[in-house]
Structure 1
Amino acid sequence: MEKKPIKNKITKRTYIQVEGELASPLLAGSGEDDFSDMDILRDYKGTPFLAGTAVAGACRQWLDANGMDKTAIDSLFGARKNEEIKQDSDLFQSRIFISDLQFTDPKTTIRDHVKLTKNKTTDNMGKFDIEVIETGTPFIMRFEYIERDGTGEHHDNTLIQTIISGINHGELTFGGKTNRGYGRLKVKELKEKEFHYTNTKTVEDWLEWSWKDICKEEPSLDKYIKDKKQFHEVEVPLKIKQTLLIRDHKTNEDDYTYLRANNKPVIPGTTWAGAFRHRLQHIACEILGENKEIEKKLEDIFGSKHDKKQTNPSQLTFEESVIEEATPFKITRNAIDRFSGATIDGALFTGEVVCKGKTNLVIRWRKDSCYDPIIKGILYWIIQDLMHGFLAIGGETAVGRGVFELDGSNPIKKWDAYQEDAITWIKDGAEHETGTV
């Protein structure tokens, strides 16, 4: 009997292993609330991980957002479920396997979050906490994809290169709250192994190969890195003028202390975003007065609140800031009876704040965002307020904490030309299409 040729046969199989560490905390919500309001996902051994489905979804969305060829994306990741299937050829599975994001000796912590009113008081039911995997945790990410007759190898290589490059630049992030500084990875090493199915020997080599053998391959990270970035980035060098307090979740020694990551004080992206959003609201109210349209404008730039049915993503990404060269400073105080001037019984408390220190505020937004000139005008106002001490960050700002000053060259010096764009946007209420995030 004549042997029929195999149709659509596999011609090549590629394995890629990416190793590195978390450059910021990672939130991989499980839907459970045993340890916090939002616990991280764990396997049967209790080890935290990020599901491969979440990694694959983020990678595919990243490729779509960057205008990559839709047909090439569908060919690699499989047919889209939301599209109409007209014939059998429209239904095909993914050619890529993406593993769970696995961590080595992961350290977890609880992060406090508080929703504040415009007067900086806690909103009703506005307190919640989340469990995160801490910065510096080593990770391993694995990709495996096959090529068949008729699939474009150069398209696959371009897509994988875009994914790896996005991760390396800190623009492709994973998990929850990525626009608030979570889920950024730092790539340290990449190794790959290819099998070209040209002869029987190659197939035999593949059958005997396993992931542990990839350590024998030469590093090839440079092959996948592109210089072109998809985001604008502004980095503002700052120093603390006096003291700063970003409260931590729990403390065993003092009544309150400052937030740490890897034993260094940090300012989370949520704190920066909240302060900038409140300041823009204040500026808009000065221009328009009390106006219901202001909240909608804030949502266009900073994203919708969680209690809204229809949500918009934030146009801005605020990175977590690590404070260097800071000195811990303990303060013990008494509450005083305002009538007698005497101390109140049981009202002695001790807190620990950060004194002096330097940090960098990093903000990103997409280059193709239609809000680009508006964002630059808004950031010009708010960063100017921040570096001149008019915008304080964190807690106890009424007693002088959280004031910053510029520590180096001014990165927004030439952005004054964009103020007119920001003012026009606030006044006119013109509709802008939401840019890709």
Structure 2
Amino acid sequence: MDNSHWLKSREIVERIIIRGSLILETPTYFGAGDHDGLVDIPLAVDPLEGKTLLTGASLTGALRSYLREYEHGYGQQGDKKSLYMNLFGNQEDNEGEQSLLIVNDSLGEKPKVELRDGVKIDNKTRTAKDKHKFDFELIEAGTCFLIEMELLLPKEDTRKEKLLLGLAIALKGLEKGEISLGFRKRRGFGSCKIKEWNVCRYNLTTPKGLINWLNEDLKEEKRGQNILTLLGINESNLIDKRYIFTMNATFSLDGSMIIRSGYDKADAPDMVHLHSNRNGESIPVLSGTSLAGSLRARAFRIAKTIGSEEKASEMINRLFGSEIKSPADKASASQLITTENEITNPLNLVQQRIKIDRFTGSSLPTALFDEQPIFEQKGTNVKFKVQIQKPENAQIGLLLLLLKDLWTGDLPLGGEASVGRGRLRGLNAKLTYKESFDIQHVWEINKKNNGKIEIVGDRDRLENYVSDFIGGIAA
């Protein structure tokens, strides 16, 4: 008798088809792998219909990574008994097991494209490096993808419960907006949420259930916004092993700000602050890439002032991701995550400027240009969120020093800092440190009407984080 593994039945007794409306909340890039066009990094589109394409492989990878981190923590691996390996399959040497979750490719709408510029900044001169500028295409925020997946449940009750729990955790991450997709998702791109779930279960042990599945009958489909309820999962069974420090801060604008955008209307000024489309409107934004670049440059300057350049580089590369200077350099992901946020209620004004000849003191011919920064007015706020995954105390201390520099206006954001642009005034900040699954520290920092700062929470602990940074980098 042949007892080969591939001849054994998987004993599938139930199939669950899950559909959802996935809405992009920030611009998103799904790569094409073809860089021969007019744009350096073009989008992936379906070649037949020209619609945006979200591949099942890309969505599956994001769900698998989220479930692994939720179950074991950032940077940790599990074994074959782990939820993520049971759900998504595993492969060790020449042996492995196929995934019981089938995730389909999804076509969105015909793409409404945003073009963005990227540039590498020299830390010493704070200017753009030569031959380090590139552009890329992004799918506009608000684009909808109808995602679909199918879970195959085996006869064994214990494994069935593990599969349902693992799927519920992963899909809950999409529902809460904790999973980002595509390129530069640690810099604010690819944020998304599920608007509504549709779940239909088919019992394959009965003729009715089998026929309904073959006919794709949706009469018993359930709809809702809570995937745990639709799958019958108790939220008390979820234990989050991710440890993270989060800073949510709100600032007012002190003067003006400009993050240059290379693409705007034909009759626009020569330079315009970066805008992004939200619900059909062009809204000024603070990009996660610009914020991260400013934070990295200032963090390196602080670390280098206290310690050696070698120690400073090592710490900054670990926190912000490795700086790739040659093909031999090994890449690593950033522990620090930034978001892209709308700037509320700014004032748009056009200014005309000229370039002055430094020798004669007169204006240079043909050097007249106009620009449109955003200016402060009543109600203008700049908000952003910064997170550190699995943080060290010294890294938290460094982020607190960066917050101080932003709060006092010493760290400008965007371009033209030398003429006073990009400076902020701190209004409030909420700091949260999830140190373990049952320990969480919370602080609130508020600017009072008399200009003084009020700190709610354990101030000594914050001071200790800064001391750990200074002691670690100076040792």
Greater shift, 353-362 or 165-174, is seen at 165-174
Q: What whole-Å deviation, never above 9, does each CA across 1:144-191 have from its counterpart, x for those lacking one?
A: 110122371111111111112222333322111111111111221112
Matched, 1:268 2:273: no
> Which runs of 5 or more structure 2 residues have no equivalent in the other structure?
1-7, 73-77, 431-443, 446-454
Structure 1 residue aligned with 2:381: 358
C-alpha contact 2:198 2:222 (8 A) present in aligned 1: yes
Structure 1 residue aligned with 2:367: 347
Q: What whole-Å deviation, never above 9, does each CA across 1:249-280 have from its counterpart, x for those lacking one?
A: 22322111111111111111111111111111
Structure 2 residue aligned with 1:434: none
2:247 to 234, 238, 257: 234
CA distance in 1 between counterparts of 2:219 and 2:317 reads 46
Structure 1 residue aligned with 2:269: 254
CA distance in 2 between counterparts of 1:404 and 1:181 reads 20
The 5 Å alignment of 1:402-417 reads: 402-408=422-428, 411=444, 413=455, 414=459, 415-417=462-464
CA distance in 2 between counterparts of 1:161 and 1:232 reads 25
The 5 Å alignment of 1:110-125 reads: 110-118=115-123, 119-125=125-131
2:474 to 424, 427, 432: 427
Q: What whole-Å deviation, never above 9, does each CA across 1:99-140 have from its counterpart, x for those lacking one?
A: 224323432111111101112111122111111112222222
Give the secondary-structure state (helix, strand or coil) at the position aligned to 1:348: strand
Instruction: Give the TM-score normalised by structure 2.
Output: 0.81
Structure 2 residue aligned with 1:302: 320
Distance 1:150 1:331, change over 3 A: same
Matched, 1:41 2:11: no
Structure 2 residue aligned with 1:51: 55
CA distance in 2 between counterparts of 1:295 and 1:26 reads 30
CA distance in 1 between counterparts of 2:245 and 2:196 reads 25
Report deviation, 1:23. 1.5
Letter of the 1:418 counterpart: Y
CA distance in 2 between counterparts of 1:421 and 1:30 reads 44
The 5 Å alignment of 1:38-437 reads: 38-44=41-47, 45-67=49-71, 70-71=79-80, 72-80=83-91, 83-85=92-94, 90-118=95-123, 119-150=125-156, 152-209=159-216, 213=218, 217-221=222-226, 223=228, 230=242, 231-251=244-264, 252=266, 253-262=268-277, 263-289=282-308, 291-307=309-325, 309-356=329-376, 357-366=380-389, 369=390, 371-408=391-428, 411=444, 413=455, 414=459, 415-428=462-475
Structure 2 residue aligned with 1:432: none
Q: What whole-Å deviation, never above 9, does each CA across 1:320-354 have from its counterpart, x for those lacking one?
A: 12101111111011223344444322111111111
C-alpha contact 1:50 1:102 (8 A) present in aligned 2: yes
Report deviation, 1:316. 0.9
Give the secondary-structure state (helix, strand or coil) at the position aligned to 1:54: helix
Report deviation, 1:65. 2.3
CA distance in 1 between counterparts of 2:93 and 2:113 reads 43
Distance 1:402 1:215, change over 3 A: farther
Give the secondary-structure state (helix, strand or coil) at the position aligned to 1:298: helix
Distance 1:406 1:156, change over 3 A: same
CA distance in 1 between counterparts of 2:259 and 2:348 reads 12
CA distance in 2 between counterparts of 1:324 and 1:51 reads 34
| Aligned-residue CA RMSD (Å) | 2.4
C-alpha contact 1:166 1:172 (8 A) present in aligned 2: yes
Instruction: Give the TM-score normalised by structure 1.
Output: 0.88
C-alpha contact 1:328 1:355 (8 A) present in aligned 2: yes
Letter of the 2:145 counterpart: F
Letter of the 2:276 counterpart: A
Query: Which one has the bigger strand percentage?
Result: 2
CA distance in 2 between counterparts of 1:219 and 1:36 reads 40
Q: What whole-Å deviation, never above 9, does each CA across 1:385-415 have from its counterpart, x for those lacking one?
A: 1011000000000000000011235645442
C-alpha contact 1:28 1:41 (8 A) present in aligned 2: yes
CA distance in 2 between counterparts of 1:215 and 1:9 reads 23
**Identity between Structure 1 and Structure 2 (%):** 26
Matched, 1:15 2:17: yes
